[in-house]
Structure 1
Amino acid sequence: MGNKKYFLLALLFHMALLVSASSVDTLIVHSKAMNKDIKNVVITPNGYGKKNTPYKVVYLLHGAGGDYKAWLKVAPKLTAYADQYNIIIVCPDGDVKSWYLDSPIDPTFKYETYVSKELVAEIDDKYNTVKNANARAITGYSMGGHGAFYLAFKHYDVWGVAASMSGGVDIRPYALKWGIPDRLGSFAENPEHWENNSVINLVHLISDKKLVFQVDCGTEDFFYEDNKRLHEKLMERKIPHEYIERPGKHNPDYWRNSIKYQLLFFNEFFNNHTTDQ
């Protein structure tokens, strides 16, 4: 009888853990800018819905060829991180090669507008969030690293803190790769599109030092030299930032390690800044 009672108590405890654990949902958002529905992963932490306290939000952008579920494969511990830091995590679908731009040549691609305006507004409407830039963070890997800085540099009224891992921060050297010409046109015919949409050329937008951000890239990554040049340009202009380079390639192992430290970086920012509604 005693063993049966112990088993029932253990089962109830296990069920309680399952009920209270973080939740992974798919949110479908209609983009008016592109006239289509877009899927997004939303992870809410343990206890969400039981408290009146609003939550900070971290947006994670995937790389070229990925989709809204890519981050769950890259970092399976995201649900545990949502619980650990008591945050909401949002993973948008950025198409396989949007580069998170509003394409100057293709009006059907407006992912800058989608993520920075439509998605943020929908998340703030559907979830109990702190509706304040100081309570929003954004990061991503590869194409998503470009996207995170591109969006944060241009919309630092939306995100107070940002990071990039293995980011394509200068797209100009890759004029024939990863579908970028589909978004910007050929470099030979539209050089201004490439100049105006490379993150390394947008640092003047944050020269007033409003944005807190971190650059992270492995020394064996094919984007390493681009990230190093971005760091040097920021240093020359005396724009505060964190810079990390360490052994590593352009792969999920590197990103899986990076996200642990970037979430800590974001958490410290959240704790040090006012996040009133």
Structure 2
Amino acid sequence: MAFARINYFSRSLGKASSVTVVFPDDPAVPRPWSAFYLLHGLSDDDTIWARRTSVDRYVEGLPLIVVMPDGGRGWYSNAAVGFAYEDDLVKDVVGLIDRTFPVKAERAGRAIGGLSMGGYGAVKVGLKHHEMFGSINSHSGAVGICQADYHKDERLKGIGGELDRIFGPDPKGGKDDPFAIVEKLDHGRIPPMRLDCGKDDFLLGQNRAFHAHLESMRVPHEYEEFPGDHNWPYWDLHVQEALAFHARNLHIRK
């Protein structure tokens, strides 16, 4: 596999940004390729998945590129006050990849996933823009962030002001809340979705609640809990299952 870190000007952010891409370097791998948009967590950047996991080894031989954008601390959302990271992803990054690489520039050729903040982002963006993505996964996702009282939650209250700036004062049920988004979608328009979380993860409650919400609406999805915490050994292990999930949904194989 080959690596590229692309520096580009994001019109949505009004500033320079970057995206890391892992792509096939074997001429025998057939084209066009599918694209897996893999999102990082709150404290990281576009390089972290490539540095902390073996994702490049896991996709070896597949007609698939892994696109890892820099989401800053923006929750892959268009902030009430601040940057438009959702637009950056779905307009600037996807547009750049579609123009630059020999990819299937269509829903059937795109998957989206991520961890923690990126797990939330993958679910939220994948549902809102279901016409763009054919498969969704989340590891340890903060999928209930818009439902949480983060000014009282000991693990979240330190960033409560930051979350207010991004989501506004009352995000529950709003445009960035996956619980509300999924309620408004026809089930036939919801992409295949897989959620997993570690049994010792502080976000386990949010994942169980979202899983129960999906079940209550009879939305088909995969949900699994595994031994593990909110850390890289967990994500390096379970991204392999996510890749197999996306490969099935996008009909790709070695």
TM-score normalized with structure 1 length: 0.82
Query: 2-side partners of 1:216 and 1:41: how far apart?
Result: 24
Answer yes or no: is 1:23 the counterpart of 2:2: yes
Structure 1 residue matching 2:200: 3-state secondary structure: coil
How many residue pairs are counted as aligned between the two chains?
244
Partner of 1:73: 51
Structure 2 residue matching 1:173: 3-state secondary structure: coil
Query: 2-side partners of 1:236 and 1:136: how far apart?
Result: 28
Write the mapping of 1:106-125 to structure 2, written as runs, cut at 5 A.
106=82, 109-125=83-99
Query: What are the Cα deviations for residues 195-225 of structure 1, in whole angstroms up to 9, with x where unaligned?
Result: 4223223212444232111011111111111
CA RMSD of the aligned region, Å?
2.0
Structure 1 position 93, deviation (Å): 0.5
Partner of 2:75: 99
Structure 1 residue matching 2:138: 3-state secondary structure: strand
Structure 1 residue matching 2:41: 3-state secondary structure: coil
Task: Answer yes or no: is the 8 Å Cα contact 1:162–1:214 preserved in 2.
Answer: yes
User: Aligned pair in 2 of structure 1 residues 182, 165: CA closer, same or farther (>3 Å)?
Assistant: same
Partner of 2:183: 204
Task: Answer yes or no: is the 8 Å Cα contact 1:27–1:39 preserved in 2.
Answer: yes
Whose RCO is larger (CA < 8 A, sep 6+)?
Answer: 2
Structure 1 position 180, deviation (Å): 5.5
Structure 1 residue matching 2:148: 3-state secondary structure: helix
Query: 1-side partners of 2:50 and 2:234: how far apart?
Result: 15
Query: 1-side partners of 2:108 and 2:18: how far apart?
Result: 25
User: Aligned pair in 2 of structure 1 residues 45, 92: CA closer, same or farther (>3 Å)?
Assistant: same
Structure 1 position 194, deviation (Å): 4.4
Answer yes or no: is 1:35 the counterpart of 2:14: yes
Unaligned runs of 5+ in 1: 1-21, 273-277
User: Aligned pair in 2 of structure 1 residues 74, 201: CA closer, same or farther (>3 Å)?
Assistant: farther
Query: What are the Cα deviations for residues 246-272 of structure 1, in whole angstroms up to 9, with x where unaligned?
Result: 221111111111100000010011118
1:225 to 196, 202, 205: 205
Write the mapping of 1:32-181 to structure 2, written as runs, cut at 5 A.
32-47=11-26, 53-75=31-53, 77-95=54-72, 97-106=73-82, 109-171=83-145, 172-173=147-148, 175-176=150-151, 177=156, 179=159, 181=161
Structure 1 residue matching 2:20: 3-state secondary structure: strand
Q: What amino acid does structure 1 have at the position aligned with 2:81?
A: I
Query: 1-side partners of 2:212 and 2:23: how far apart?
Result: 38
User: Aligned pair in 2 of structure 1 residues 115, 67: CA closer, same or farther (>3 Å)?
Assistant: same
> Higher helix share goes to which structure?
1
Structure 1 residue matching 2:102: 3-state secondary structure: coil
Q: What amino acid does structure 2 have at the position aligned with 1:61?
A: L
TM-score normalized with structure 2 length: 0.89
Query: 2-side partners of 1:231 and 1:239: how far apart?
Result: 9
